[in-house]
Chains A and B, each alone.
Chain A
Amino acid sequence: MKAIVLAAGEGVRCTPLTNTRSKVMLPVANRPILEYVISALVDNGIEEVVLVVGYEKEKVMDYFGDGNDFGARITYVAQTSQLGTAHAISQAIPALGEDNGYFLVLNGDNIIEKETISKLIADHAGDATVLTTPREKVCGYGVVMSAAGKVKGIFEKPKRQISHMINTGIYAFNRDIIAEIENTEISGRGEYEITHTLQNMVKGDRDVRVTVTKNLWMDSVYAWDLLDTNARLLASCESAIEDTSIIDDTATLIGNVEIGGNTVIRAGSYIVGPVKIGDNCDIGPQVTVLPSTSIGNNVSLGPYTYIQNSILMDNVRVDSHSHVSESILGFNCNLGPYSICEVDNDVNIEIENELVPVEKSGVVIGDGCKFGSRTLTEAGTLVGNNCTVRSGTTVNRHLPANSTVL
C-alpha cells in the first residue's frame, strides 16, 4: 500500500509561526508535525509516500529529503495553486505509479501514531473508507454521520451538534476516486474539496465506509495549541543522552530528559523532565528548565534563565535572568537579559478579527525577533517575524512582522 500526504497548505491560523514555514513543519517535541505522520505510515509498513507540497515547499524537502532517513521513499508533487484537497489528491495520484490497489490519503498537519491508522489499513473496503474519531466538542470540524459502518453524510463545520464523530481527513481510496474527483464541483471557498466528492458518492449510493479510531489524532488549530500537543507528546518521551553531550557533575536532571549531541549543560543547571533538548545547545550555568519543554538545536540559554512548558525552536538565544513560560519562541529568536514572557489565565487572543479564549497563555514570538534587555511581553501577545524590541520596553499588543518597538 502507498500513501498520499497533503502538505501543501499554509495553516494561516497558526500565524505568526506559519509565515515562513507551513504548519506541517512546525516542531512539536522537536520533530515537525509531518514527521509523526510519516513515521506512523512507515511503522505500518507503508514506505512509498507521495508528498504534495506547495507553500514553503523547500523547508519540507530540505528536512525530509528522499525519505531515506525516515525509512520512507518520498516522491514530491508540487501543487502550484491551492485549489483544495480533491485537486491535490488528483495531482498526486499519477505519482503512485502503476499499482492499482487501495491507497491512503492523510493530512500532514495532524499528529497521529502508528495505531491511529492500522485499523483503517486492515479494514478498508468499498469505494472509499473514511477514518473518524470521537470528540466531545466538534465545533470547527467536519462531522461524519454513519449507520452500520456506512457513511450517511459528511458535513463541514455544522452549527448543530449532529454527531460526535469527526472526520480525521484520513481516507482509503482506490483509483476510481479519480473519476469521482473529476465530477466534483467547486465549493463556495473556490476550492475542490474531497469532502464534496465523498458527499456526492454517498448521494450516488456508492459504498463509502467508515472506520473509527480512538488513538492519537491531534490537531493544533492555533499556534498556542502546539503547547498542549507538545506536552502530550513529551509525556511519553524517555531519557536519552547522546554520548557527545557534556553534562556538568553539578547539574541536576530529574525525570525523562533527552539531550542531543554536542550539547553542553553547565554547572548548577536544574532540568525537570519531560524535557527534550536538541543538538549543539549551550545551557547554563544555573539554568532552570521545567516540564513540558522542547528546546531545538543550536539554542543558547544564559545563566539564571527560567524556562517552563514552552517550545524553543532552533537557534534561539535567551540571555541571562530571562523568564519564559507557556510560550513559543520561533526560529532564530534572540531575547536579551532580563526578558520576561508573561503568563496569565483566561486570556482572549484576537486572531483574524475573532476573539479566541485561552485558558492559560504566555506569548508566541515569530522567527528572527530581537528583544533587548529588560523587555516585558504581555500574556496573549503574538509577535510577528523579524520584530525588534528595544531595551526596557513593554509589548502589550500583537506586533505585525518587521515592527520595531522603541
Chain B
Amino acid sequence: MCGIVGYVGKTDASSVIMDCLRRLEYRGYDSAGLSILNGDLQTYKTAGRIGELDKVLPAEIEGNIGIGHTRWATHGIPNDVNAHPHRSSDIVVVHNGIIENYLKLQEWLEAEGYEFVSDTDTEVIAHLVHFYSNSLDLFEAVRKSMTVLEGSYAIVVMSKNNPDLLIAARKDSPLIVGLGENEFFTSSDATAFVAHTRNVVFVDDRELVKLTPEKVEFYDMEGQLLEKQVSTIDWDVEAAEKSGYAHFMLKEIHEQTRSLQKTFAGKLSELEGNVQLPELNLTDEQIRNIGRVEIIACGTSWNAGLFGKYLLEGLAGIHTDVSAASEFRYRDPVMDCNTLTIAITQSGETADTLAAIRNVAQYESSTIAITNVVGSTITREAENVVYTHAGPEIGVAATKTFTAQLIALYLLAVHLGRRRNYLLPDEAKAIIKNLKELPGNVQQVLNQRDVIRRHAAKYAANRDYYFIGRGLNYPAALEAALKLKEISYIHAEGYAAGELKHGPLALLENGMPVVAIVTKGRTYEKMLSNIKEVKARGAEVIAVADAGDREIGKYADIVIPVPATNPLLSPVLSSVALQLLAYYTALEKGCEIDKPRNLAKSVTVE
C-alpha cells in the first residue's frame, strides 16, 4: 500500500507535500517522490524513506501545485525508477492500489508507441491518460481511463498543459479531500493534511474530483456534478507525535489505560446489567433470528475475531466462525439472511476485508463493522458500525487498537447475549464490573515494564519462541506471537496448548522460550500439564499468570503476574504484558520498531 498527496493553493507546494508525506510514512516507506508544476514539471523521486527524498530535493522549488507519493512496493522492487510519480510526456500520476489488467494495457499502449521505463502497474495510468488527453481535456481523459482500468486505485493526475488543475479519482482505495482556505488537499488519509485543515470530504468509489486554487468539484463516472457532505476530523493529529516516548509503539501501549475507557465510555450500565449499543440498527427479531456469525478479518484483527468467536458463543450462544478475509473471498461460503457478518479492520481500508464484505452483500444479511477510523471505507460498506475509539495508531504493530477491538467484541457479545436473553442480567453485571476495573488493571501490568524488560533481554538472542494458551488465552497466544514476529523478527508461533503434542512438540529444544498464558479459568489445570510437558523437553517457561497464584512458580522459570480478573477479560491483560515483551525484545535487538521491514500499517492491496 502507498500514500498519495495532491496540493493546490497559494503557498510553496513542495514543503506542504513533504510535510504531508512525512505524516503518511506509516502507509509505506520504501520509496517516495513528488512533482511540482511551475510552467515546467519538476519531478524528484528516490528509493528509501521520505528523509532520502529530502536529500535530493533542491532547497527551493517554486510552484503552488503538486503531487506526492510514499510507496510500499507491490509491483517492481523499490528503486528510483519505480518510485512515483510516473510520467508520460506532460502527464504525471501518483497511485495507490493495484491495476489488475496492467499487462494487457501495457501491450496495447506499447503498440501505440509508448515506451515503459518502470516495472510498476502505475505507469500504464500515466500513458493511458496521456493517450486519451490527445483528444480530450484532462478531466475527460481521466474519466475515460477509469472505464478501462481494472483493479483498485486512488490516483491524482497533473498535467503541464493545465497549470492549476489536479484531477483525483478513486475506486476501492481510500481518497479524502481537505478543504482549506484558498488551498485544497487530497490524500489517502486525513492524517496527511490535518495540520492544515480539519474540513474534509470523503470521496466514494467511482468518483472524480477536480481541484483548482478556487474550488473543488466532485463528479460521478457519468460526469455529473455531485453534492458532497463536508465532515470535520475531530481527533487531534498533534497527538500523533511521540511525546517523550522512544517509539510510537511504547506510547501506544501506555495509552491503553485511557483508550480502553474510551471504547466503553457511555455504553455500560452496571446496575441494569446491560450494554447499550445505540449504533446498532438491529431489531429484536433480527437479533433473535441470528443463526450464525461470520467474523471476517486479517492479521491482528483476525486474532481479535477468534476472541470474538469464544465470546459470542459463550455469552450470546451464537455459533460463530472466523475467516481470514483473503480466504473467505475465494471460498463458497454457506450463508443465508440470518447470518450476521462482523468485519474487523483497524483502518477500515483493509482491501481483502472490504472485498469480503462486498461479497456478503448478496445474502441481504446484517453486517457490522468494527473499526477505529471514522469515515473509513468499511463504514460505508457495512450496515452497522461499532467504533473502537482508540485514537490514531502510528506504530505498525497494532497494540491499543487490538485491545480496543477486544473490548468492542465484549460489548457486542454482552449486548447480543442480553437481547437474546441468553446472558442473565447478573452475569452481565459481573462482566461489566470487571470491564470497568480493566483500565486500572492494565495500569498495574504497565507498572511492571522494567521487570518485563529484563525478561525480554534474557531471551532476545533466541531464534524461536513459542506462545501457548487455551480457551480465550489461545487467541492471546496467537496475537503475542504475531507481535514478536512483526517487530523483533524472531520466529514465533502461537499454539493451542492442547495441540502441542500433535506435532509442534517435536521442535522443542533445550533452552527454547515457551510463553504460557496460564491465568485462572476452566483450563488452568490442563495448562499446568502442558507446562510440565514442555518443561520436560528442556524448554524455558515464561508463565503469564494471575497475581497471587502461588502454585505456578513451581512449574515456570519466570512468572509475569497480571492482576486476577474475570477469565473472560484476563486475555486483555496478558496481551498488554506480552506487547511489552515483544517491544523490549525488539528494542534489545535494535530493530526499527515502529516500521518493521516488509510491513505496512494498513494493507490496502490484496
Residues on A lying within 8 angstroms of B by beta carbon are 20, 51, 53, 57-58, 60-62, 64-69, 74, 76, 78, 244, 261-262, 264, 266, 279-280, 282, 297-298, 300, 314-315, 317, 331-332, 334, 367-368, 386
Contact = CB atoms under 8 A, between A and B. Distances in A.
Contacts of B261: 279-280, 297-298
B443 A331 contact: yes
Interface of B: 236, 238-239, 241-245, 251, 254-255, 257-258, 261, 265-266, 268-271, 433, 436-437, 439-441, 443-444, 446-447, 449, 563
A19 B440 CA distance: 15
A300 B436 contact: yes
Contact of A66 (B243, B436, B437): B243
A62 B255 contact: yes
B266 A317 contact: no
Contact of A65 (B243, B257, B433): B243
Given A53-B244, A76-B243, A315-B436, 19 more contacts: A61-B254, A62-B254, A62-B257, A65-B243, A66-B241, A66-B243, A68-B239, A74-B243, A261-B265, A262-B265, A264-B269, A266-B271, A282-B270, A314-B439, A314-B440, A331-B440, A331-B443, A334-B437, A368-B440
A76 B242 CA distance: 10
Contact of A280 (B239, B251, B266, B440): B266
Contacts of A314: 439-440
Among A65, A67, A264, find the residue whose CB has the most chain B CB atoms closer than 10 A.
Answer: A65
Nearest to B257: A62
A367 B251 CA distance: 22
Given A61-B245, A65-B239, A315-B440, A300 B265 contact: no
Given A53-B244, A68-B236, A317-B436, A300 B270 contact: yes
Given A244-B266, A266-B271, A279-B265, A298 B243 contact: no
A57 B269 contact: no
B243 A64 contact: yes
A150 to B, nearest CB: 39
Contacts of B258: 62
Nearest to A75: B244
A386 to B, nearest CB: 8
A66 B265 contact: no
24 contacts: A57-B244, A58-B245, A60-B244, A61-B244, A61-B245, A61-B254, A62-B258, A65-B238, A65-B243, A66-B238, A66-B241, A66-B242, A66-B243, A68-B238, A68-B239, A74-B243, A244-B266, A266-B271, A300-B270, A315-B437, A315-B439, A331-B443, A368-B440, A386-B444
A386 B266 CA distance: 28
B236 A69 contact: yes
A304 to B, nearest CB: 14
Given A53-B244, A57-B244, A282-B270, A332 B239 contact: no
Contacts of B439: 298, 314-315
Contacts of A280: 261, 265-266
Contacts of B236: 68-69
Nearest to A67: B243
A340 to B, nearest CB: 22
Nearest to B270: A282
Nearest to B447: A20
A244 B265 CA distance: 10
Nearest to B264: A280
A119 to B, nearest CB: 31
Contacts of B444: 332, 368, 386
Contacts of A300: 270, 436
B436 A262 contact: no
